[in-house]
Structure 1
Amino acid sequence: MVGAQLVALLIPLFPLLGFLIVALNVKKVSHGFASTVACGSVLISFILSVFAFVQLLGGTPSIEVTLFRWISAGGFSATMSFLIDPLSSLMLLIITGVGFLIHVYSVGYMHGDEGYNRFFSYLNLFVFFMLLLVMGANYLVMFIGWEGVGLCSYLLIGFWFKNQAYNDAANKAFIMNRIGDLGMLLGIILIIVNFGSIQYTEVFPKASSVDAGTVTLITMLLFVGAMGKSAQIPLYTWLPDAMAGPTPVSALIHAATMVTAGVYMVARNNVLYAMSSATLEMIVIIGLATALFAATIALTQNDIKKVLAYSTVSQLGLMFLALGLGAFTSGIFHMATHAFFKALLFLGAGSVIHAMHHEQDIRKMGGLKKYLPVTYATFLIGVLAISGIPPFAGFFSKDEILASAFAHSKVVWAVAVIASLLTSFYMFRLLFLTFFGNTRASHDTIHHIHESPKSITTPLIVLAGLSVVGGFMGVPEALGGSHWLSNFLAPVFEPSKGLIEAHHLSHSTEYMLMAVIVLLTLGFIGFAYSRYVSKAHVPAAEGQISSGLQRTLYNKYYVDEIYDAIVVKPLYWISSVFDKVVETLGIDGLVNASGKAVVEGSKTARKLQTGSIGFYIFMMVIGIVLVLSAVFMK
């Protein structure tokens, strides 16, 4: 057990050491040394995470380690402590495993960039904070990691800071996440007030003794934090703009780290959420609305990374739908499979962008499969997986969510199916416009197109393999499986099962739902093929979109413009008023008036210093006379 505790300490330590070594010597060490340290530190953490995972498989219920007592005030205390249980163990494998592949990919993708060493130091720091978030044994340690990944996202989204648009995107992500984080912080404060502790092992057993209304308020406030981190309505608009950073950053944020934090946090607090049907219903509504809303926007986007960004927002909506339905295992299952195929899709998009000399507009691509065979084959696997085609990973995890939705409400199921079908359409639209048909790139670009180096294609191949087999960890009983993942996560989610009404479907119903969804998906894929391959349709150029609905979708329902009108501009106006009235006329006026008073008084007092000895003697005599007069008058 001592060895397991040591492993728990070392898992986050190595990425932190990697960050310190590279960051403190960013201008002194070679690119090769920096990338070796950064990749090696994450690889070691992955190996240690596998060791911890094996320990849990061997019967160890959990691994807990306390570094030191951090805060002690009255009856409250907080420790810097770690917890590795089945849920955090699965997260560790995703963060370090997918994170390592993204690090390796970055070696080739960032080659020649002037900020190469700085980039790898940021990646290591990002992984460290995400590990801290999922390994924390209490809310305070989790919150440190929570804020840390927010900081790293700011640094990496605005990595190319000489471009002001990228800085604006980084600021947007940082500010919108602060809005969500305020809600989460208030939720944690309420936990401290009502439970007297922030340790998970002390809070969850006491949950039933706390007023139901208080639990509802706590869970809703915590979910506000999840809405920010995991980009749910209305705090989702930062995530598509986060594409400003280098493509490996997009993959890291969307697949292995930041956006999964909200899903993990809700799943970690499953006992609290299971006690509040109102909060669960709210999560269902927001998750479902986000899944459909983002999917419709993705239909008309032409930036290869923006399409994938909105697909992430949509898929996160499905994960929260599962959590809101009480299907916590299904939500985590889809998060795991999504990590595989979304990392694959983003890195595949990066390979295309690398080959196209940083061109991201799919209207200027086409016919690339003959130039980029490995990228095309792996990207196709990722598209099949996210579309839910059997036996790829996304089929099993998405089918579970849709089955839970059907058992809960036919209306919820229908909306979720529509979002899922739209996903298959816009993803194959992306595939066909990028890799099929005639090449629409310029002659100079075509002449220089070639397959990416092995440092880029090797992670693609590994992730493609995971996207094929990853779903088999959750094969349902209806398909002859035992759902290994459900059994593995049972100790974490078992306490909440009795608090949520269970819905079960017969195997025949499950078969029917699978068949219907797969056939509909194939139909949508066929429609996409007919439109973008057979008819060779290419989306209209900027400013030539005639349809009002299409223009609305292309402009993302004008949500950014609405936020700008009702939030940003009023705040700027209020700030301007405060600047002119309070700051300039009030504070500055008072300070300047005080200064002027001193200056004018000094000018008057200076006249008393004449330099005449006779005048000084005269003033001394007058002073003595006044003092003596005052004394005798008493």
Structure 2
Amino acid sequence: MEVLIVLLPLLGAILAMPLGHTGGARAAEVVTSVLVGIACFLAWITFFGFWLGDAQPHVLRLFTWIAVGDLVADWAVRVDTLSAVMLIVVTTVSTLVHVYSIGYMHEDPSRPRFFAYLSLFTFAMLMLVTADNLIQLFFGWEGVGLASYLLIGFYHFKDSANDASIKAFVMNRVGDVGLALGIMACFFVFRSVEFDVILDAVRNNAAVQPFGAEAAVPLDQLQIGFLDRTPPALEIIGILLFIGAMGKSAQFLLHTWLPDAMEGPTPVSALIHAATMVTAGVFLVCRMSDLYAAAPGASAFVTFIGATTAIFAASVALVQQDIKRVIAYSTASQLGYMFFAAGVGAYGASMFHLTTHAFFKALLFLGAGAVIHFSHHEQDMRRMGGLREQMPATFALMLIGTLAITGVGIPLVTLFGAPFGFAGFVSKDMMIEGAYEGIGEGAGFATYAFVIGLLVAALTSFYSWRLVFLTFSGKWRAPESVRKHPHHVPGVMMFSMVPLALGAVVAGIMFYSSFVGDGAGRFWAASLNTGDTYESIASTADTGGEEPVGVDTEQTEGAAEPTGVGGHATDTAHADESHGAEAHGEEAGGHHEFPTWVLVSPFVAMLAGLLAALFQYRGGDPFRPGLIGQGGLLYGFLSNRWYIDGLYRRLFLEPARILGRFLWKKGDEATIDALGPDGLSRITSGGARAVVRGQTGYVFHYAFVMLIGVTVLLLMILL
């Protein structure tokens, strides 16, 4: 069944173009959507098996893909809790985007090609999340990069789309250099690229003997040479792998491709740049959570970059006028939350927010697509407004997404053992609390992450409500042509958003116990470092090519110590003294106790952002001058995106352009061509012209030449 989940989207990608030629675009739309829908149904069955506690982790080994000496990489489907969670995220969003695109793209003549690209992306992403080794993961990693390039540049007749697709491809290749080096380092140290071999060695602090080493050394003492230094092996591996994650997940300094990727059709933004591809980096860090738990330096780096990305992207989103760019920067900011949560060791909270975020962020993107479709493809919020009466259903759905992303809920109140609120309220609070817990455990940059997390909660509330107020409130500012003839939004587009809205409401409460609550240890088992001693997992029968996932059944050194959410040892007495105030309660998850102000502060930050947005955009002219209004104190800095794009242009683009022009004009044209093919051709053509000038057509000229020739011959004979 799991193999079908992966292969059905590939079948759809293969069939889309032939069906489009023979049966029309509708045939391609229906077949690809049905095949992805079946994969989604099977993915939910797989997930429920782990959620209800019946399924066991296993690996379906299909065939050996690469076997060169010690480098062996199987083509396999790894099925454990972590991959099962990613399967439902990828297939659910992909299915709804496929259905949504039937309505959104109904006027496009290249629909079969578009749906082929969507299904190809889905297949590549599923290969990534079900990989059993780093080489197969890298295949899926590059596959989604290719599909992203194709989808961003889908409107290839537009220069801006071509530029955006190239920028996304190149920026991701920069990050992929780090990922490739990280994979090489893993093979160098562990002599394997399989996750089981690598993670089991890390859990047991095994003695490993890298290539060329004279003797085996325990992992926590192993150092490897890199750039004339000898850092700890696990630290450098963790940092290199995370550099790859930075590119794919648009983290600070490698983020510049994500806003420009909005040149692709809006369904692409929802599928790739909101809920699936950009989460690949978070998935990689969580898949390697045991390694990061054993590498505090690399974890601190993850925390710092994640928190910095969160504040950077949230601040830039404050002044964006393009509705899709606001949501794009919001995506980068929320990914920053997930990374700093993973950096402080709250891997369950990170995956929890990844799952809930997929629902409400895809909902916001698809809602924005409905607004853009209705407004004749207008994306500037300054030319919208007043759409609440024109699009009441879209307004209601986007309002749900906004309530979820801003974290609306009731602090200190539980329902079914979970904090009571929208999905984002539950999952975002868990990450902020994880950062606070990391402070007590000495996690690097945990204080920075906690403070930034609260500040970003306020900014998120402000720019999210700003989007709602500018788009749906006030007077309708659209041109007369749009007001007279707005585009009807097809019902299939609205239908696709309803399941996402349902997830944005209930996903937090529904998944809380399993992802971060009392049931987290059993739910995640050995697929994620929850800080608990790994329990042995019974071997499954070897049928149908299934093999049990390798799990160490012995306790690792020091595992008897009490541990926190992040897998770091926790001083229980200290926790009781410093945190001894109200918590969510034992029935609400069994976390360490937190002071009341920690539990309430995210809600207060959200409320502050809402009140500021109400003051600025609901009380009179929404475009009146303000702190971040056009011409305001911070507007130039934020609208220029912290001047990072300009810095890259000066540091890399312009020098590369100058160097390229110099090599073109002076190197290629003036040297190589002048002395090579162009020079030879000039000599030949010049000689030909000289010979031509001698062909006058006069007989006496030819006779004179013959006389000279005879004279020269006689002189040669006489001499």
Q: CA deviation at 1:274?
A: 1.2
1:98 and 2:93 correspond: yes
Whole-angstrom CA distance in 2 between matches of 1:494 and 1:364 = 48
Match of 2:73, SS state, is: strand
Give the corresponding residue for 1:185: 180
Q: CA deviation at 1:555?
A: 2.0
Give the corresponding residue for 2:108: 113
Letter in 1 for 2:632: S
Alpha carbons of structure 1 residues 483 and 246: separation in structure 2 relative to 1, 3 Å: farther
Give the corresponding residue for 2:367: 348
| Match of residue 77, structure 2, among 77, 82, 106 | 82
| Match of residue 490, structure 1, among 519, 525, 533 | 525
1:420 and 2:453 correspond: no
Q: CA deviation at 1:496?
A: 6.0
Whole-angstrom CA distance in 1 between matches of 2:652 and 2:620 = 44
Q: Any stretches of 5+ residues in structure 1 without a counterpart?
A: 1-6, 607-614, 620-634
Letter in 1 for 2:404: A
293-302 or 60-69: bigger deviation: 60-69
| Match of residue 407, structure 1, among 410, 430, 437 | 437
Q: CA deviation at 1:539?
A: 6.3
Give the corresponding residue for 2:498: 461
1:126 and 2:121 correspond: yes
Q: Superposed, which structure 2 residues align to 1:302-381 within 5 Å?
A: 302-381=321-400
Q: Aligned residue pairs: how many?
A: 603
Q: Residue 282 of structure 1 contacts residue 324 of structure 1 at CA under 8 Å; is this kept in 2?
A: yes
Letter in 1 for 2:284: M
Match of 2:525, SS state, is: helix
Whole-angstrom CA distance in 2 between matches of 1:465 and 1:54 = 18
Alpha carbons of structure 1 residues 495 and 309: separation in structure 2 relative to 1, 3 Å: closer
Give the corresponding residue for 2:40: 46
Letter in 1 for 2:431: I
Q: CA deviation at 1:116?
A: 1.1
Whole-angstrom CA distance in 1 between matches of 2:431 and 2:135 = 31
1:500 and 2:535 correspond: no
Letter in 1 for 2:175: G
Match of 1:231, SS state, is: coil
Give the corresponding residue for 1:3: none
Give the corresponding residue for 1:578: 663
Letter in 1 for 2:527: V
C-alpha distance after superposition, 1:22-43 (max 9, x if no partner): 1344433312111111101111
Alpha carbons of structure 1 residues 571 and 86: separation in structure 2 relative to 1, 3 Å: same
- The CA RMSD over aligned residues, in Å, is 2.9
In the superposition, the TM-score normalised over structure 1's length comes to 0.89
Letter in 2 for 1:100: T
Percent identity (aligned): 41
Alpha carbons of structure 1 residues 495 and 296: separation in structure 2 relative to 1, 3 Å: closer
Match of 2:59, SS state, is: strand
Alpha carbons of structure 1 residues 181 and 525: separation in structure 2 relative to 1, 3 Å: same
Whole-angstrom CA distance in 1 between matches of 2:15 and 2:524 = 36
Q: CA deviation at 1:482?
A: 4.1
Letter in 2 for 1:456: M
Q: CA deviation at 1:556?
A: 1.4
Q: Which structure is higher in helix share?
A: 1
Q: Residue 473 of structure 1 contacts residue 483 of structure 1 at CA under 8 Å; is this kept in 2?
A: no
Q: CA deviation at 1:462?
A: 1.3
Whole-angstrom CA distance in 2 between matches of 1:444 and 1:387 = 34
Give the corresponding residue for 2:470: 433
Q: CA deviation at 1:73?
A: 1.9
Match of 1:259, SS state, is: helix
Whole-angstrom CA distance in 2 between matches of 1:411 and 1:155 = 38
Give the corresponding residue for 1:156: 151
1:512 and 2:597 correspond: yes
249-258 or 35-44: bigger deviation: 249-258
C-alpha distance after superposition, 1:384-405 (max 9, x if no partner): 1000111100001100111111
Q: Any stretches of 5+ residues in structure 2 without a counterpart?
A: 208-218, 224-231, 410-420, 440-446, 533-558, 560-566, 584-593, 692-708, 714-719
In the superposition, the TM-score normalised over structure 2's length comes to 0.79
C-alpha distance after superposition, 1:188-220 (max 9, x if no partner): 111111111111111111232332611111111
Q: Superposed, which structure 2 residues align to 1:519-598 within 5 Å?
A: 519-538=604-623, 545-589=630-674, 591-592=676-677
Q: CA deviation at 1:255?
A: 3.0
Whole-angstrom CA distance in 2 between matches of 1:294 and 1:68 = 43
Q: Residue 139 of structure 1 contacts residue 200 of structure 1 at CA under 8 Å; is this kept in 2?
A: yes
Letter in 2 for 1:165: S
Whole-angstrom CA distance in 1 between matches of 2:521 and 2:324 = 33
Match of 1:87, SS state, is: helix
Whole-angstrom CA distance in 1 between matches of 2:621 and 2:570 = 48
Alpha carbons of structure 1 residues 320 and 459: separation in structure 2 relative to 1, 3 Å: same
Give the corresponding residue for 2:537: none
| Match of residue 17, structure 1, among 3, 11, 22 | 11
Q: Larger RCO: Structure 1 or Structure 2 (Cα < 8 Å, ≥ 6 residues apart)?
A: 2
Q: Residue 473 of structure 1 contacts residue 485 of structure 1 at CA under 8 Å; is this kept in 2?
A: no
